[in-house]
Structure 1
Amino acid sequence: MKIGQLAKRSGLAASRIRFYEASGLLSAVERTSNGYRTYGAEAVWILEIITGAQQAGFSLEEIRSLLPLSASGWQHDELLAGLKRKVAEIEVLQQRLAHNKAQLLVAIESIENPPPGQACVDNAQQLLERLRERGDAGDR
């Protein structure tokens, strides 16, 4: 199939497909005598893997190392290790996001419910101190 057909079937722009090809994520393709690229049916499948992996947070370099080396299949151990590594990275990110969320909730609470009679600048100072204390506790 030509690149236009592949773009339509994959939902990707032709320029994105050419980028993946140039990046070594999509195997070299045949060229017709007039220079048009022709792709095999497996190109749709590979593009689905690439876009799905990107949505899951994999970098192009990580994807490159996880793609099957040939039509014969995946490198099982490398694929499994890469997937487990990404899950661990996501868990660390989730912890960091939970910490950030907690700090934002403290800030919101402090701004919405300042101590009675406390000046805004004093409330801000107190809020910064609370956030510093929470940040130090989160580093332990």
Structure 2
Amino acid sequence: MHARSDGQGRPLAFIPTGGEVSDYSSADSLIDIPVTTPCRFLSKKGYDSDRLREKRLFRGILPIIPPRSNRKEYIPYDLKHYKDRNHIERMFNTLKPFRRIATRYDKTRKSFLAFLHITAVKLWLAFFVNRT
């Protein structure tokens, strides 16, 4: 599963894929969702490719991706901004308590994606409710 989140770690979009699908194949469709264009693209080493970096830079998005260990030339990245990627990891950790998502009980992609959206709504509601 691939996801896009905002700066606060709230989910914006999900793309469920198979386990054999490479990471950077779904990056373009996550960026193209109709929300504001991000200024930085924080991701893990699995998204490290020259094509993906060039596409992000062409659109005005700064890719902050650590280089893979087998890369011939080292590409520097901003470690200070990369530390903000923990918001994305926290977003995934808020999804894990929902047993239906963690174990993927749903047989079809459509029903799994629907439950991901229901879970995202539940996570977003906490930001709209008056907590006083």
Q: Structure 1-normalised TM-score?
A: 0.24
> Is the radius of gyration larger for structure 1 or structure 2?
1
Q: With CA pairs under 8 Å and 6+ residues apart, which has the higher RCO, 1 or 2?
A: 2
Task: Select the structure that is richer in helix.
Answer: 1
TM-score (norm 2): 0.25
Q: By percentage of residues, which structure has more strand?
A: 2
